[in-house]
Amino acid sequence: MIYTLGIDIGSTTSKCIVLEDGKEIKGSSIITGGAGTKFPLKAFEMVLNNANITMEDLSEIVATGYGRGTFTQTDSQMSELSCHAKGVHFTCPNARTIIDIGGQDVKVISINDQGRMLNFLMNDKCAAGTGRFLDVMANILQLDIKDLEQEAAKSTRSVNISNTCTVFAESEVISQLSAGVEIEDLVAGICESVAKRVGSLAKRIGIKEIVFMSGGVAQNGGVRKALENVLKTEIIFTKDAQLMGALGAALFAYDKTIKNIKEAISCQK
């Protein structure tokens, strides 16, 4: 058996995957707490436990994500863009566009039929359209981030949030709340605001079907549905959407292991 590990150290969350023989997911972990905290190491220990292996069983460890340079247990690093492309291609080989909404940035990646990145666009300058925007809004509304989907689904009259800037949108939501607007209508408007922002980035790169959503925000059905309306296309996601970067890193770690084995064999000949 060959075990490889991918760790994605994000701005808000640490994610790990252990792969067996480059094919089967043996374990995974997701812990809130990202770069610069103790949580990447916790996620690492947790995934080993989850896969029922020890560090000595691992052939290769690849780190990705915003905090990839800070993790000392790793053998090498790969960019988030390449890892998301590889992880999504493994999960959904027909995907040609990836929309990754994380805690602090948004990436739209165009990939070919081999899972190689062709082009990308990124917004990492502003919290609008990112998980951070949703986290701030959930906090004001005293909701758990997981509840936004359910609230948005109840809405019959979504409220337009006119400010894209998180700070101004926060004040806007507070004044709508005090004016008696229903929470579900505000949540639907918040999800639509993210979708409009991300949708315009996606349209700039050009949408090719199948569109796959990765990153933590993919779990929010309110954002997914609003984005489908903006882009007028179906958006695919899986329950492991937040783990796509870690999965890609574990796959790169497997490729590296195989390359090393082949090189060792050719040296012996």
Query: Contact positions toward ligand ADP, by CB under 6 A?
Result: 10-13, 34, 65, 102-104, 131-132, 134-135, 145-146, 215-217, 219-220, 242
Task: Output 103 or 189, the one with its CB closest to ligand ADP.
Answer: 103
Distance CA 244, CA 173 (A): 32
Task: Output 29 or 104, the one with its CB closest to ligand ADP.
Answer: 104
Structure tokens at 65: 């994500």
Nearest distance from C-beta of residue 269 to ligand ADP, angstroms: 43
Task: Output 104 or 193, the one with its CB closest to ligand ADP.
Answer: 104
Distance CA 18, CA 126 (A): 33
Task: Output 6 or 216, the one with its CB closest to ligand ADP.
Answer: 216
Nearest distance from C-beta of residue 178 to ligand ADP, angstroms: 25
Nearest distance from C-beta of residue 74 to ligand ADP, angstroms: 16
Nearest distance from C-beta of residue 30 to ligand ADP, angstroms: 7
Nearest distance from C-beta of residue 29 to ligand ADP, angstroms: 12
Give whole-number Cα distances, 23 to 1, 87, 198, in Å: 11, 11, 32
Task: Output 97 or 257, the one with its CB closest to ligand ADP.
Answer: 97
Task: Output 74 or 257, the one with its CB closest to ligand ADP.
Answer: 74
Nearest distance from C-beta of residue 166 to ligand ADP, angstroms: 12
Task: Output 3 or 66, the one with its CB closest to ligand ADP.
Answer: 66
Distance CA 204, CA 157 (A): 29
Nearest distance from C-beta of residue 184 to ligand ADP, angstroms: 16
